[in-house]
Amino acid sequence: MASQLLFIGTTELLLIGGLALLLFGGKKLPEMMKGLGQGVQSFKKGMSEPLVEEPEENGEEEQETEAGTGA
């Protein structure tokens, strides 16, 4: 029963599309969908790239603290 609630049928999809067309108009809707598509594309690209952490540069900070305490 719960799995049926997650799916959107054709009728619901057409209703949502018609409502969006009425609210935003025919000129603005393609621009919005293009932006949404670019956002999804960049999200997928970010998820597929390996996670690489850059090493922190603590060498400069250690030298500064040593010079400050040596006086």
Whether 66 is in a domain gets the answer: no
Whether 67 is in a domain gets the answer: no
Given this model, what pLDDT does residue 26 score? Answer: 87
Whether 27 is in a domain gets the answer: yes
**pLDDT tens-digit series, residues 6-62:** 688 889 989 998 999 999 888 898 998 899 999 999 999 988 887 777 767 665 555
- Domain boundaries, position 27: 8-33
C-alpha span between 55 and 40 (Å, rounded):
29
Given this model, what pLDDT does residue 47 score? Answer: 87
Q: What tokens were used for 9?
A: 């049928």
Q: Residue 63: which pLDDT band, with cuts at 50, 70 and 90? A: low
Whether 25 is in a domain gets the answer: yes
Whether 28 is in a domain gets the answer: yes
Residue 68 pLDDT greater than 90, yes or no: no
Phi/psi at 51 (nearest 5 deg)? -80, 115
Do 32 and 24 contact (CB within 8 A), yes or no? yes
Given this model, what pLDDT does residue 41 score? Answer: 93
Whether 22 is in a domain gets the answer: yes
Do 18 and 10 contact (CB within 8 A), yes or no? no
Domain total of the chain: 1
